[in-house]
Amino acid sequence: MSLKLDVVETDGARIRDLEVEEIALPGADGQIGVLPMHIQMISVVGIGPMRLVLKGGITKLYALAGGFMEVLHDGVRILTESCEASEDIDVERAQKAFDRATARLQTLSPSQEEEFKAVTASLKRAQTRIDVAAGKFM
């Protein structure tokens, strides 16, 4: 049995009607696993690695930038800012984004709460891209 996965980024569809056997991705508190026949639900998804087991058993890793997931009886739809497959990640760019965010964090004061959140999210996206490109999945 399998389910169909759609991933829609802000500027268009990234994955359309991909047949998968299993999806593991970051939820609001910890990992979420979705298998065929999962109950219908809507959930927030976090920034982190997403692992797909494709129909036939091949595993693929993606860097997910957070958003929402809708689980329906025959498929899953994820709405996200971005979702890169491991082979599409530019590691040098991610490392630069990581270094930039780390440096920026050190200059922030406690009153800059909104910017702190934005920079922390950027750091997490960069770390996820670096980990996913290296084949790491938590």
Q: Which residues bind ligand ATP (CB under 6 A)?
A: 65, 82, 84, 88-90, 93-94, 97, 122, 125, 129
Q: What angle do CA 15, 21, 25 make, to 5 degrees?
A: 65
Report in angstroms how near the CB of residue 48 gets to ligand ATP at its nearest.
13
Report in angstroms how near the CB of residue 87 gets to ligand ATP at its nearest.
10
Report in angstroms how near the CB of residue 57 gets to ligand ATP at its nearest.
26
Whose structure tokens read 């920034």? 47
Of all residues in the shown chain, the one whose CB is closest to ligand ATP is: 82
- Separation between Cα atoms, residue 52 and residue 92, nearest integer Å: 25
Half-sphere exposure (CA, 13 Å, Cβ side) for 6?
A: 12
